[in-house]
Structure 1
Amino acid sequence: MGGFAGHLHRFRNTDVPIVDQSAEKMADDKEAGTVASPADPSIHTDSDADKIEEDAQLGVQSIQALTKVWTKNDIILAYITIWTIFFIDAMQQNMGNSLLAYVTSDFYAHGLTATTGIMSGLIGGLSKLPLAKILDIWGRPHGFFLMMCCLTIGLILMAASNGVKMYCAAQVFYWVGYNGMSYSISVFLADTTHLKNRSLVFAFAQSPYIATVWIGGPLATAFLNGPGWRWAYGTFAIITPVICMPLFFLFWRNYRKAAAAGLLPNRPGKDRSAWETTKYYLVEFDVVGLLLIVTGLALFLLSFSLYGYQAQGWKSPLVISFIIIGGLLCIVFVLWEKYWAPVTFIPYDLLTDRTVLGACVLCANLFVSFYIWNSYFFSFLQVVSGLTITTASYVVNIYSIGSCFWALVVAYLIRVTGRFKWLAQYFGVPITILGVGLMIQFRQPGVNIGYIVMCQIFIAFGGGTLVICEQMAAMAATTHQWVATVLAVEGMFASVGGAVGASIASAVWNGVFPARLQQLLPQESMANFTDIYKQLPVQLSYEQGTPTRDAINSAYGEAQKWMIVASTVTQIISIVAVFVWRDISVKDFKQTKGLVV
């Protein structure tokens, strides 16, 4: 709350107006019933430039109406609630990351640690596009509530999982819900801020990660040593809806207030039959396109992580069919979108803008690189570096704490200079390449943990810069009407990038680690080869310095080396993606309406 209060105080005492409003009321607006009576001091009636856009989508018109009826206290309460939601979610994620290897090991599937995130990350990201339609057609509260329910169901299913398949299904629900909630909140933040202040608000919303870094590891340890990992998920299945509901009710109350004031637009189609309504939404959400791209990408990417579990490897009929069918479905998706789709799934007119496309490509590449080097990092720190769960979680989360802290600095620089491209081009990309590249040398057995920490700090500062800058680039290149769509497309690129990165990491791990382990294991441990490969606790059961543990550590080092080489090479794409951006100034750029920060 203190951080938000400080930002708010600065907004009020500089040239940044927290309120755009005037006291005048146009008589024709009153007669048309588009605004409330001027006797109500809580209704903000602005100049023509600040009126609700008649040609905007219904969801955009609705949020513009909301910003005209809510108060300063509503803004403060909303932002405090948002910070609390991100705090709880960040704490649960940090704990979940620490538990993941133990969950998959409990199901005798440690090698599937990266695979569990492929489908969930992919579907979670692609779901943002239909969610953007929900937010724009039905409204922000509806989408937020629906995603909260998905997240809660995911946590319940994870707690009840009886195998890795059910756990993967639970992850799909969880990540659809989590990504959807985060996306809904991001759209809300964009709706309620000036563009020049938006990076600061986005950085503020992510600041809970700075604190939760120190909580996730000890919390995971406490649950593992106490009631077990199932209760870790079950506990947050109770906490999450309790924390989220206040924001939903705040949304809903102000929507009802806007409706009572006559500001909300009339919704067409009230006289449609059930079948006509179903057909309308099937077309609007492009369900055919959604099924084609999700199924195609999922099959294609899963082949990279599952080939190691097939007796014939890449020659397995299952793997070959996944690659062929997945590739064909992706081709059919492109043809469907170009020639047959009544409403396109991806707005090509936005993607033709080089700044939007460059921002999306950078976002995807950041996730590709991150998931390649991070997928087995937590296990590496415990097995090779000999760290405890808590200490390993601190090292892993250096990226979270560093990037979130540095994002505040970057956001302030954007606010002062009005530019974002120079930060990404001359600082963000170079320091990221430096940090990832150095890990090729330092993430090996026998290397002092301090060098690994140094690399994490470099990557954190680079990531904190690039994430804020690519979001600003995507939003600055469009109008308020398309902010939700642009953020959804950016989220889709992020999830596809994460799925690609996890697939590459899983392919390298399953291709290098078991082969190298089989070469190095002493004869007396060969009988336990399968258990060693599939279970993290078995790997940790061998003392450091014994021949078996040395063999395990060397196999880890070999797999990590090739994973990080691949991660470093992908950074070439980041250089090109930032280079093509337009150098847009975000100062004096009016994009939102009503009472905004």
Structure 2
Amino acid sequence: MHEQLGVEHIYPDAEIAAELEKQGDNDTVFGDKSPGVRRIEAISSCFSSWHRWVLFTSIFLVAFRYTFQNYATADFGNAAQISTIAVVRSIVAAAGQPVFAKISDYFGRISILVIAVVFYVIGTIVSAASKNLGAFSGGAVLYQFGYTGVQLLVEVVIADTTPLRSRLFYSYIPAMPFIINAWVSGNIADAVIEHSTWQWGIGMWAIIFPFCAIPVFYSLFHAEWRAGKQGLLDEIPSPLRSLRKREVWVDLFWQMDVVGLILLAGTFIMILLPFTLAGGVGATWRTAKSIAPLVIGFVIVLPMFIVWELKFARHPVVPFRILKDRQILAGLGIALMLNTTWYTQGDYLYTTLIVSFDLDIIKATRTSYIYSFVSVIIGCIVGLIVHKVRYLKWFVVAGACTFVLAFGLLIRYRGGGTADYAGIVAAETVLGIGGGLLPYSTQALVQSAVQHERTAVITSLFLATYSVGSAIGNTIAAAIWTNTMPNRLVEDLTKAGISNATALATEAYANPFVFIVDYPMGTPTRTAVNSAYREVQRYLCIAGICLATVLVALSLCLKNPRLGDTQSLEDAEGFKTTAAGEHDGDGGKDLKAVRI
């Protein structure tokens, strides 16, 4: 495969060359190309078939994971804070993606992947050992930072080592565990909760995850060893051996755009968190502690970020030159809106299934995984089809339309008086079909639009936008939930003639898993609570369908290039690409060429 990926990129005219030279997109203290990118190219050129089998099989194993976050927050008496923790994790993911991309371009994929795994393990241990919500949240942040690095670098390594026509199928390998998780995770969660605690359910992954990562590192290190024996790494500088040099740290500071990342994270925190922290039985979103962060975020931090990126950043978090391409703009828009849409209905699905539909842990977990199960099956099938047909756009358009249809079904069957479990299963299945057509297909199209040097950066930007969408979706869901659920509970309990409605509403809101044990199905109190939960679900799904319509418009804006056997499109970023050593067909005109 490496023979197909070895290409030369030719500037088609002096204007583009001058623009790139002025912007210095690739310039580092180690030359005009990042040493980490050069290293992974040398490593991937030494991949044999068994290296790929080991790599992709171990990527499949590494992707297994389970969550007990619902039980942890409920145990701390803060079940409604699921979205708050999710927003914080999304903010960490959004800020962490570009960091890992830039550092991996600099220091290499393998060494940074090791660091990501270490953060994953430490965060998992901290969360499992936590005694309060604050400690659990701190562990969740460390875990998320590590998981973000693993997620990004796995996708980047896949993009590094696969041609465009096969990219979609291989990109689904990290998601394939969902096919199994959908059916066994409920049993595992039930067994852990029944025979142990949620602490062990989280903590066991500090052992399982690094063990599963060993084959990933072995295949990469062995290929690197082969590249070293062949002398392919001799001319590639090692930044790790140059850390004592001041210019390396200065260059790394600008390459990562540290100031921009801090301002961007600050903007997200100030704008998104107040919506999840406000609300409750007595709504507090009108108070100063909620309004002040919003004002600071919109009036101070966001303008500072924009000014810094436009005027001072040498390598902006958001690379404005490539954002002029509507393929990338539309793709990032889809990533943003897809997760925003999904999380408006996804955050509280599990809790609602347990409370309103009286499902046990196994059945509720399996129902929650229907979307992932179906989307992975459909995505793998589409990946095989695209390998033959080589075009992607209309699969994305079909996925966006399917999302709108699914939310229409969710409104009918998940909320209000027409709530029906069979309808939920059907709606989640349709939603999964849309999910199999949308996200990874869009990611492949976005990756195809840039040269290999910027593959990690654009992938990080895509996944960061995905994380921003998660944060916005979490925020919308939490804002609707926290500002409507308490009052709805009081209202429905009062209508049912329950005397201590306010106290019961507070109990059902704070820890619903304990509440339903004391008030089984059929009791007037439980019936009133079920009604409130379903009605708020209807609100969430109505918000979701409004957002899903935007996906259709964005999908129509995508280009529909023919995907070939190269790592990126021949005309990506205005370059003309020819096979290594092939004549450019321009009559021998002396054009500037850069091998990547």
TM-score (norm 2): 0.87
Q: CA deviation at 1:78?
A: 1.4
1:267 is aligned to 2:250? no
Q: Could you tell me how far apart the structure 2 residues matched to 1:537 and 1:206 are?
A: 29
Partner of 2:508: 532
1:321 is aligned to 2:305? no
The 1:292/1:310 distance shift into structure 2, 3 A limit, reads farther
1:505 is aligned to 2:477? yes
Q: Could you tell me how far apart the structure 2 residues matched to 1:268 and 1:68 are?
A: 19
Q: Could you tell me how far apart the structure 2 residues matched to 1:588 and 1:71 are?
A: 17
Contact preservation (8 Å) 1:442, 1:451: yes
Q: Could you tell me how far apart the structure 1 residues matched to 2:260 and 2:282 are?
A: 34
Partner of 1:184: 153
1:113 is aligned to 2:85? no
Q: 1:73 aligns with which of 31, 50, 56?
A: 50
Q: CA deviation at 1:572?
A: 2.2
Secondary structure class of the residue paired with 1:220: helix
Q: Could you tell me how far apart the structure 2 residues matched to 1:259 and 1:167 are?
A: 43
- Cα deviation per residue 1:262-320 (whole Å; 9 max; x = unaligned)? 32243277667454443332222111111111011112100111111596612211111
Partner of 1:587: 564
Which segment drifts farther, 468-477 or 584-593?
584-593
Q: 1:83 aligns with which of 25, 39, 60?
A: 60
Secondary structure class of the residue paired with 1:308: coil
Partner of 2:487: 515
The 1:410/1:530 distance shift into structure 2, 3 A limit, reads same
1:430 is aligned to 2:401? yes
Contact preservation (8 Å) 2:283, 2:483: no
Q: CA deviation at 1:588?
A: 4.8
Q: CA deviation at 1:225?
A: 1.0
Q: Which amino acid aligns with 1:463?
A: G
Q: Could you tell me how far apart the structure 1 residues matched to 2:346 and 2:38 are?
A: 41
The 1:256/1:441 distance shift into structure 2, 3 A limit, reads same
Question: Sequence identity of aligned pairs in percent?
Answer: 26
- Cα deviation per residue 1:73-96 (whole Å; 9 max; x = unaligned)? 22222122112212xx3xx23xx1
Q: Which amino acid aligns with 1:290?
A: L
The aligned runs of 1:449-464 (5 Å cut-off) are 449-464=421-436
Contact preservation (8 Å) 1:539, 1:552: no
The aligned runs of 1:106-505 (5 Å cut-off) are 106-264=75-233, 265-267=235-237, 273=244, 275-309=246-280, 313-327=284-298, 328-425=300-397, 427-444=398-415, 447-505=419-477
The 1:570/1:48 distance shift into structure 2, 3 A limit, reads closer
Contact preservation (8 Å) 1:363, 1:493: yes
Q: Could you tell me how far apart the structure 2 residues matched to 1:271 and 1:160 are?
A: 38
Contact preservation (8 Å) 2:2, 2:44: no
TM-score (norm 1): 0.87
Contact preservation (8 Å) 1:117, 1:171: no
Q: CA deviation at 1:228?
A: 0.5
Contact preservation (8 Å) 1:66, 1:258: yes
The 1:527/1:478 distance shift into structure 2, 3 A limit, reads closer
- Cα deviation per residue 1:504-529 (whole Å; 9 max; x = unaligned)? 10000011100111112211454333
Which segment drifts farther, 497-506 or 56-65?
56-65
Contact preservation (8 Å) 2:74, 2:513: yes
Contact preservation (8 Å) 1:115, 1:506: yes
Contact preservation (8 Å) 1:117, 1:168: no
Partner of 1:38: none
Q: Which amino acid aligns with 1:537?
A: F
Which segment drifts farther, 530-539 or 456-465?
530-539
The 1:311/1:455 distance shift into structure 2, 3 A limit, reads closer
The 1:133/1:357 distance shift into structure 2, 3 A limit, reads same
Q: Which amino acid aligns with 1:20?
A: E
Contact preservation (8 Å) 2:330, 2:555: yes
Contact preservation (8 Å) 1:303, 1:322: yes
Q: Could you tell me how far apart the structure 1 residues matched to 2:372 and 2:293 are?
A: 35
Contact preservation (8 Å) 2:60, 2:177: yes
Secondary structure class of the residue paired with 2:146: helix
Q: Could you tell me how far apart the structure 2 residues matched to 1:310 and 1:214 are?
A: 37
1:550 is aligned to 2:533? no
Q: CA deviation at 1:229?
A: 0.6
1:20 is aligned to 2:28? no
Contact preservation (8 Å) 2:396, 2:441: yes
Secondary structure class of the residue paired with 1:582: coil
Q: Please, which runs of 5 or more residues in structure 1 have no aligned partner? A: 1-17, 22-45
Q: CA deviation at 1:590?
A: 5.1
Q: Which amino acid aligns with 1:325?
A: I
The 1:156/1:248 distance shift into structure 2, 3 A limit, reads same
Q: Could you tell me how far apart the structure 2 residues matched to 1:568 and 1:48 are?
A: 44
Q: Which amino acid aligns with 1:387?
A: L
Q: CA deviation at 1:204?
A: 3.4
Q: Which amino acid aligns with 1:578?
A: S
Secondary structure class of the residue paired with 2:204: helix
Secondary structure class of the residue paired with 1:314: coil
Q: Which amino acid aligns with 1:257?
A: R
Q: Could you tell me how far apart the structure 1 residues matched to 2:283 and 2:172 are?
A: 48
Contact preservation (8 Å) 2:281, 2:487: no
1:103 is aligned to 2:110? no
Contact preservation (8 Å) 1:350, 1:486: no
Q: Matched residue pairs, number?
A: 543
Q: Could you tell me how far apart the structure 2 residues matched to 1:272 and 1:156 are?
A: 30
Partner of 1:572: 549
Q: Please, which runs of 5 or more residues in structure 2 have no aligned partner? A: 11-25, 570-578, 581-596
Contact preservation (8 Å) 1:126, 1:491: no
Q: Which amino acid aligns with 2:448?
A: A
Q: Could you tell me how far apart the structure 2 residues matched to 1:535 and 1:404 are?
A: 33
Q: Which amino acid aligns with 1:267?
A: P
Q: Could you tell me how far apart the structure 1 residues matched to 2:274 and 2:403 are?
A: 29
Contact preservation (8 Å) 2:56, 2:173: no
Q: Which amino acid aligns with 2:260?
A: G
Q: Which amino acid aligns with 2:505?
A: F
Which segment drifts farther, 404-413 or 520-529?
520-529
Q: Which amino acid aligns with 2:50?
A: N
Q: CA deviation at 1:462?
A: 0.4
- Cα deviation per residue 1:320-369 (whole Å; 9 max; x = unaligned)? 11111122212211110001123212111122110011111101111001
